Structure 1
């Protein structure tokens, strides 16, 4: 019997806030969490550097990124698809 290993990568969706670098975009991912004491929903955000082919994602686009092997010191994510183009 042959066993197949299924590799599941984490995926996140966020907004591109910078595309000034070559082959790299900065993606802002926001998540909503409940405050442990006050029970108020607050927004936490984090920026990720993601690898992208030139011209695929521009600033303002909503994209999906997935975790991958480290590409550089700060890049461990890859853009998989553009969910929504920015209004321009």
Structure 2
């Protein structure tokens, strides 16, 4: 009787795969694991890495390639203070337009070569004073102090 009870637990498609000597495929005999029984969480968005960075060009001698130094602030592992960390990245510069000292934005792209996976994009210059726009002196309306 125990043989028939155990056979009733399998669906018909799995019963057909049983062989004559009583053995079956290993996938049918495995116990279900806790991992397979837990529902998947699909509501949370995937965590993505930073796609773009900003830095200063430190070397532009190579053809169509610039070396960009990116500085970031990160907490010190022991002292928990924020310290500056620098790293150099190779970036693609197809027009050779960037010189040493230019500030550029690095955007992630497909790998261009063994060391290049970023494209250098120009940024507006930093700390440049804007010239005030010319305000017309006579707006056509008299001021209250000029009214009598």
For Structure 1 versus Structure 2, the TM-score category normalised by the shorter chain is: 0.7 to 0.9
TM-score between both structures, scaled by the size of structure 1: 0.79
Partner in structure 2 of residue 80 of structure 1: 121
TM-score between both structures, scaled by the size of structure 2: 0.48
* RMSD of Structure 2 on Structure 1 (CA): 1.7
Q: Are residues 67 and 28 of structure 1, via their aligned partners in 2, closer, same or farther at CA, if it must alter by over 3 Å?
A: same
How many residues of Structure 1 are paired with residues of Structure 2 in the alignment? 77
CA contact (8 A) 1:57 1:82 kept: no
Greater strand percent: which structure? Answer: 1
Give 1 or 2 for the bigger CA radius of gyration: 2
Tell me which of the two structures has the higher relative contact order, counting C-alpha pairs closer than 8 angstroms and 6 or more residues apart.
1
CA contact (8 A) 1:63 1:84 kept: no
Whole-Å separation in 2 of the counterparts to 1:83 and 1:50: 18
Greater helix percent: which structure? Answer: 2
